[in-house]
Amino acid sequence: AHVLIMVHQKLTARTNRELHGIAQVKSVYAISGDYDLISMLQTETTEELSSVLDTIGNLEGVERTNSSLILETKFTR
């Protein structure tokens, strides 16, 4: 899944450290636009995904998230 994350600016470094500690978070990128970060998550089940999304949403500094489930990979380079 891709998860867009809006972060309280003063807590960005802390949020990044906490995201790094979540095993299912495979990468985090700083982005422009309404959200501050996009993270790539990998889970085995939708139940696990739901739990990880709850964990991310409850991190101090996270104001809002928006997630998209990847249904199929068309290609990667």
Tens of pLDDT along 40-74? 999 999 999 999 999 999 999 999 999 999 999 99
SS3 32: coil
Percent of the chain with pLDDT over 70: 100
Q: How far apart are the first and last CA of the chain?
A: 18
Average pLDDT for residues 18-28, to the nearest whole number? 97
pLDDT value of residue 55: 98
Cα(24)–Cα(50) distance, rounded to whole angstroms? 12
pLDDT value of residue 13: 94
**Token representation of residue 59:** 């991190």
What value does the mean pLDDT of the chain take? Answer: 96
Query: Which of 65, 63, 67 has its CA nearest to residue 10?
Result: 63
